[in-house]
Amino acid sequence: MAAIAGVSRLDQGPANHDLATVLGAQAHRTPDGVSTWVERQVGLGHGALQVTPEAAFERQPVALGERWMLVVDGRIDNRDTLAKVLGVDTATLAVTSDGGLFGMAWGRWQAEFWRHVEGDFALAAWDRREQRLTLMRDRIGVRPLFYARSHRLLAFASEPEAMLGLDGISRRCDEDGLAYLLATGFDFDDFSRTLYRDVTRLQPGWRLEVEADGRVQLCRYWQPLTQSMPPTRDPREHIAEFREAFDAAVACRVRGVARPALLLSGGIDSGCVLASARRLRDDGSPLPLLPISLVETHEPVSSETANIQRLHAGSDGIRIPIEDLDGQAGFSDLLERYWHHAHPIDNSLSYATLSCFHARAAGCRVVIDGADGDVVTASTNRRAAQLFTSWRVLSAVREARMVSRVNTYQQGVSPMRILWQGVAANMQPDWLARHRYRRRVLQAQDSESWLDAGFSTRLRLRERRLDAALAARKLRRDDLRQERLAWIWWNPGFMRAMEGTDRTYAQYGLEAWHPWCDQRVVDLFMQLPDELLSRDGWTKWIVRAACAPELGDDIAWYSGKSHVGQHLGERLLAVAQPRVSELLVAAGERLSGVVDAGALGRLCDAWRADPTRCAQENGDSVLLLATLSGWIERHQLQAS
């Protein structure tokens, strides 16, 4: 991803030094140069990453007459259509960057430009006449944008860490952020909060305006729930509609100055991207994507590896052997980043990190994956219960039997249990649901005995987790499908995953392009009837049906959920024992008041006594606590 940055000194001091600091902290995102504009107390900056032919003509910040200055991290999918509306001829369009088109659109429509532009963006515009700064983020939230405000300044950047330590911006962690990382089932009440107390996320579909005197106004310029559900049509019509929308999303993301990489697992989400690419290519032409996968090479191989090998057939893709990582340059690079440049979100993306090393070595500048497919295609998986409560008993029994046979998450569960659990969940009274959820919360809290009791009590973790569970139940029980999907897509967990992917790819000078988060695809799934997502026992039914002709039934209708990448954690612990020991010992001081000192001490003792056994029994906890310790060390953070 490219980088944008800006500083407005509310105390009227010069902005140039702070702007240089913020841009310097994002240097890894800007391999193709940095440019700035500064006018006394205000400064804007842009760091370039050229991934399309027209990006060679990028000139930011964009000056729009005497009034506006603009910087943007974004891409436009409807360049031709937008150019016609703006009166830009073909010859001029060929030498006009996406940033230039964003500038023209802002000059014509200002804050309403998003109605005419298809694509992802994080944008900042400075009104020199009114002395007003405007920040906007795209509707899905593909492009990151953060801001920090003190009594002396307001700053914004593509990465939150870039603003830590500015005048009045502390390095203190957000306590809810720490709770999210450490406590199962807990998340922020305020979706704009980040892992840092003084840094705020501009949420997708929101606009921020900052006046010269520092007054801030936030408004939501777009709401996801704007249309009613259409009547159910023939499933074949929906399948054709999905293929058309997804092919358009992929087609927009395979153009560029270099061949994009595809992080290809054996699952349906990345497989769907490959299927679309196969449909798009001309007969006999090379595949427009470079598949990269982590595979097993020693027999017997998992079902995921078998699927990956079939998907790679006939391509020149890269297959990384999981058994022989230790001597590979890519794994050495991963070790360095994981243990010496730790981040609690990014460290969970070790598979992507390893793949990015190979993508960069292959000359790629863009990476596509299917990681966001699970979220976009989310469903309740309770079709059997819905059929039963609608008095379609025979259909409900058949659906429950199919769920027991093929459903990714309920395979092997008896059909009667599937029916009973689904119906009971829908019909149980609120008081009983509250009792059941309270018991689950208590069990989860017992399993997290290494959390400091005072920390949990101060943040009311038990009560807040219970409230969140009941709110989620209401969305499921009341069949508020669009509201439920909106909560899933625009909640902090998904946003953090997207932002972590962005940071991870940017470390390698790569840009993340997400076809599953294309606005056309998201709009389509917001309107799809639920029975097309969960049907005949299958999850993601419509996606599987749409991809079967290109992928084959064995892959499209594969019900497993194995992931070769899960073995990376074991290797990361096994080959870095001294560094892990160092971080665990330091965690006692760094996480004081957050993690129970006694529980942490026992974990350290177990690790010192037998690292291999400790990794087998408590590997996830060791990885998490060592990562948090390394993250605090890296950014000189204060946890409490």
pLDDT value at residue 530: 81
Q: How far apart are CA 170 and CA 198, in angstroms?
A: 6
Helix (H, G, I), strand (E, B) or coil at 556: helix
Start and end residues for every CATH 3.40.50.620 domain found in the chain: 235-376+494-562
pLDDT value at residue 463: 82
Burial degree of 265 (CB within 10 A; 0-12, 13-18, 19+): buried
Which whole number is the average pLDDT over 598-616?
Answer: 94
Mean pLDDT over the full length of the chain: 88
Q: How far apart are CA 26 and CA 8, in angstroms?
A: 18
User: Do 339 and 579 touch, CB atoms closer than 8 A?
Assistant: yes
Start and end residues for every CATH 3.60.20.10 domain found in the chain: 3-220
**The one-letter amino acid at 319:** R
pLDDT value at residue 72: 98
**Which one, of 109, 160, 159, 118, lies nearest residue 139 by Cα?**
118
pLDDT value at residue 183: 84
User: Do 46 and 37 touch, CB atoms closer than 8 A?
Assistant: no
pLDDT value at residue 197: 97
Q: Please determine, for residue 104, whether its predicted confidence score (pLDDT) is greater than 70.
A: yes
User: Do 583 and 630 touch, CB atoms closer than 8 A?
Assistant: yes
- Residue 599 or residue 326, greater confidence: 599
Tokens of 268: 């349906």
pLDDT value at residue 255: 84
Q: How far apart are CA 15 and CA 8, in angstroms?
A: 7
pLDDT value at residue 282: 66
User: Do 595 and 452 touch, CB atoms closer than 8 A?
Assistant: yes
CATH fold for the domain made of 3-220: Glutamine Phosphoribosylpyrophosphate, subunit 1, domain 1 (3.60.20)
Tokens of 604: 């350290």
CATH of region 235-376+494-562, choose from 3.50.50.60, 3.30.360.10, 3.40.50.12280, 3.40.50.620: 3.40.50.620
pLDDT digits over 500-513, tens only?
999 999 999 999 99
Q: How far apart are CA 579 and CA 587, in angstroms?
A: 12
What's phi and psi for 98, nearest 5 deg?
Answer: -60, -35
For the entire predicted model, the pTM comes to 0.93
User: Do 317 and 293 touch, CB atoms closer than 8 A?
Assistant: yes
What's phi and psi for 324, nearest 5 deg?
Answer: -115, 40
pLDDT value at residue 428: 66
